[in-house]
Structure 1
């Protein structure tokens, strides 16, 4: 089955809608971190980067009196649950392999434990660990990482470069298998 690229995922209208809320810069940066970590840890870079790119697409906007209410967001946050659902539907619509879509959506679901009454550190798979650590690497206090700006054309260039790197790793792995 054909691999759905990060560029294809990014260009989809659903991705565009939800990455506007959570921050294109954050999504692309976390995908790049996830690639490096995945290669280092022997995790599939395609799954890691897709999961990382889509990890925050479940974000809601929590405003009070026209201003972002970070405390209300933290109290009511279920973005990982909504994001997992959206990521799965999106990937299936794009023609992604069903098992890939499932793995990505579960990694999106478990990239944070902020909505759970318990921690996940020792329970995550290597893929889920990579996505969580890549997200943590870009985090800033009070959610400021969601407000860093990136032009869409610059994001596409970086994702195209990342797609090329993923293809190189996948080709290398297939050649040595």
Structure 2
């Protein structure tokens, strides 16, 4: 059973403020990638799409002299840490199961290792899917954060993805009930 839909996340003012700032088109593309990857990696598609959709909710805008500074971002950003906290709080407020909210928040936290000291990080399957989904949509210089999408189109795409997730659950419950 799903507690919170992607459209409910999209409609929330926190998502509107922070996911739009980091790139709504990118977030939605990552959610679609995560849906496909979830099937391949045996991961729950609801949690995967939510984590992928919210993975950049913690972005801060790094500017120098009124212009975006990608080097400052790469050097000092900790958006995954802030995003994990923000995503968790948002999911709990909307009524997500606390266990799932924690799993999603951890996947947001670990979708990138750019803020960690060099080393090897072992991800669980959900975290791996979210990191892969983000990598699939990246463009050089962070350009993926600047693609535009209308609210109407964004909401429609998320509604379609919600329907796909619901169909996944319906098909799986039918298999288990036979």
Q: TM-score, normalised on structure 1? A: 0.96
4+ runs deviating over 4 angstroms: none
Q: How far is 1:3 from its partner?
A: 2.1
Counterpart for residue 134 of structure 2: 135
Which ranges of structure 2 fall in alignment gaps of 5 or more residues? none
What RMSD in Å do the two structures reach over aligned CA positions? Answer: 1.1
Q: How far is 1:120 from its partner?
A: 4.6
Which ranges of structure 1 fall in alignment gaps of 5 or more residues? none
Q: TM-score, normalised on structure 2? A: 0.96
For residues 134-175 of structure 1, give each alpha carbon's deviation from its aligned partner in whole angstroms, at most 9, with x where no partner exists: 000000111000000011110100000000000011112222
d(CA) in 1 for partners of 2:162, 2:2: 13
Change (3 A) 1:25 1:120: farther
Change (3 A) 1:2 1:166: closer
Residues paired across the two proteins, number? 176
For residues 75-125 of structure 1, give each alpha carbon's deviation from its aligned partner in whole angstroms, at most 9, with x where no partner exists: 11100000000000000000110011000000000000000013455x101
Counterpart for residue 174 of structure 1: 173
